[in-house]
Chains A and B, each alone.
Chain A
Amino acid sequence: MHKFFILIIIGAGLLACSSVSNISLHSSLVKIDQAYSPNSRLDSLILPFKDSLAKEMNIVIGTSPINFITARPYGTMNNWFADAIFVNQTFNVRLSEPVMCLFNVGGIRSSFNKGSITVGDVFKVMPFDNELVWVKLPISAINSIETYLLKSGGEPIANANLVQGKLQLNGINSQTKFFWVITSDYLMNGGDKMDFFKQKIEVNFTNKLLRSALLEEVKKQAVLKVDSTVRVTF
């Protein structure tokens, strides 16, 4: 009798459980767009911060003819970014060794849109306070850069091309033992796992923020130069 009891109990228990699910989830997504109005109290809280910031950021410093694209293996924004830094850093320098620019797609935080370019837009592209550095590497480091680029799928480069996975530097010859990479202190210090910078022989610190160089170049170009050259192929 006692055994029978237990059987009934367990049977009923399973029945109760299988027919009832205790947690059910329903998900949805709210798109925050013009269908919603802003909140006036919050807006008034933001206003003093916004005004003070706007004075600095809303200054128009150039125009973009297109919507720039940041992409892998290459994109118009990748090219513009690397070229702007290359020009900024080398326009009055006589290069005795090959020099390339190398940055990371992940570090270009926004792209320029067609129309006016403000100081704020440049801050959005490069919000980090990273410093520009020149890193001297042995020619043997080219292999590890190629391996890195193959793995990452492509990064912004200037004054060099990756042709079918092979890095081709401008100004290289059979005597070349070293080359320079203009990059950020963040990447040089192993950011984004660019471990090949560990092979560095020498570093020139420029004392200039990447963002400052970009601001200078937008002002100089006035209408941003568009270069859609394919620079990276595998």
Chain B
Amino acid sequence: MKRRSFVKKSALVSGGLLLAGNSFAKTSFAQQKKIKVTILHTNDTHSNIEPLPANHSKFPNMGGISKRFEVIRAIRQEQEHVLLLDAGDIFQGTPYFNKYKGTLEMKLMSELGYDAATMGNHDFDAGLGGFFMASEHAKFPFLCANYDFSNTILKDKTKPYTIFKKGKYSIGVFGIGIELDGLVPASKFEQTIYLNPIKVANEVASFLKKEGCDVVICLSHLGFEYQTDKVSDRILAAQTSNIDIILGGHTHTFIEKPTEVNNSEGKPVLINQVGWGGLHLGRIDIEISTEKTLFRKQQHVKVI
């Protein structure tokens, strides 16, 4: 919903309540209930099925998809509304990928209950055909808004966005990928057409807000930031509107605390990325206050 229309509707309702001369509006504030949606996210897991070895120089024994399963299971027990997302580069990095061509990664992510993922550049490493075969084992959608696969085997295999209903609320999620030319051999991406990430992100995010999404999340594999003017999550955040959260990948950036960047309308966008290898799980708890819903309901009751 656009902020402007929200203001207008709220105004009508609260104004009406004032005129009615009772204290209902005030008590509703006091009794406000917040709905929490817990977003869990990973990026650049790179076929790390097992924990890192005990002699790893930086992260001994960390990670492992089985432990991640337990972490997520525990959170699901506490939280009613959970969304589990991945920002790409699921493939490549351990011999599991060389031997099983990504099928095991997809099977296990489905076991963990992933709700959606986007494609990273390494998810092209088995070629489009290889990705097609592996993704047959995925029980979650791949969201790619700025790769046009219509002339490839992946036609209709991915979608630009999806909308999740969590309680009364809608969470819109879409995926933005990195330019493949120069990063991925042309033989691996074939006739994939790369679309301008900023333009597409603006269009999709605006569409999702118009569809009534309370929160819009972009799964991005652009990378957190660069020293050049190469498009990154920071640039994406600054040059678009209607995105609330960017969950990034590609640069393997480990962000202790998510970064806030103001968008083209001056509103804050939260950017997060959690390193690589499934060593960490990012968690963002979104609290959506019920006042908004109250106002929405009230607008049907014509108090004026």
Q: Does B203 contact A (CB under 8 A)?
A: no
Give Cα A14 to B10, complex, Å. 8
Are A13 and B71 within 8 A (Cβ)? no
- B94 adjacent to A123 (CB under 8 Å): yes
* Across-interface contacts of B264 in A (CB, < 8 A): none
Taken residue by residue from 97 to 139, chain A's Cβ proximity to chain B (1 for < 8 Å, 0 otherwise) reads as: 0000000000001110111000010011001110000000000
Q: Which of A13, A19, A36, A56 contacts B95 (CB 8 A)?
A: A56
CA of A12 to CA of B24, assembled, Å? 14
**Chain B 24-80 interface residues, beta-carbon cutoff 8 Å to A:** 25, 29, 47, 49-50, 53, 55-57, 61-71, 73
Bound together, the chains give a CA A23 to CA B100 distance in angstroms of 42
Known: A113-B57, A127-B93, A127-B98. A31 touches B108 (CB 8 A): no
Q: Chain A contacts of B256 at CB under 8 A?
A: 29
Given the known interface contacts A13-B12, A123-B94, A124-B94, the answer about A32 and B291 at a Cβ–Cβ threshold of 8 Å is: no
Of A23, A120, A124, which is within 8 A of B214 by CB? Answer: A23
Interface string of A7-34 (1 = CB under 8 A from B): 0111011111101111111111111111
A133 to chain B, nearest CB (A): 13
Q: Does A228 reach chain B (CB closer than 8 Å)?
A: no
Do B95 and A27 touch across chains, with their CB atoms under 8 A apart? no
From B14-22, B145-153, B158-166, B192-200, the one touching the partner chain is: B14-22
A174 within 8 A of B: no
Contact A49-B96, Cβ < 8 Å, known A13-B15, A20-B289, A38-B64:
yes
Check A10 against B215 for contact (C-beta < 8 Å).
no
Q: Is the CB of B92 within 8 A of A27?
A: no
Interface residue tally for chain B (C-beta within 8 Å) = 78
Interface residues on A, range: 35 or more
The answer to whether A189 has its CB under 8 Å from any CB of chain B is yes
Q: Which B residues contact A (CB, under 8 angstroms)?
A: 6-8, 10-19, 25, 29, 47, 49-50, 53, 55-57, 61-71, 73, 92-100, 104, 107-108, 111, 125, 182-183, 185-186, 214-215, 244-245, 256-258, 270, 272, 274, 278-289, 291-292, 295, 304
A42 close to B (CB within 8 Å): yes
- In chain A between 179 and 213, which residues have their CB closer than 8 angstroms to a CB of chain B? 186, 189-193
A33 to B8, CA, bound (A): 49
Sample 7 A-B pairs with CB under 8 A, ordered by A number.
A9-B16, A10-B11, A23-B289, A38-B70, A45-B108, A56-B95, A128-B92
- CA distance in complex: A17, B295 (Å): 11
- Indicate if the CB atoms of B286 and A14 lie closer than 8 Å: no
**Which A residue's beta carbon lies closest to that of B7?**
A17
From A17, A39, A124, A192, contact of B66 by CB (8 A): A39
A48 to chain B, nearest CB (A): 10
User: Contact at A39–B95, with CB atoms within 8 Å?
Assistant: no
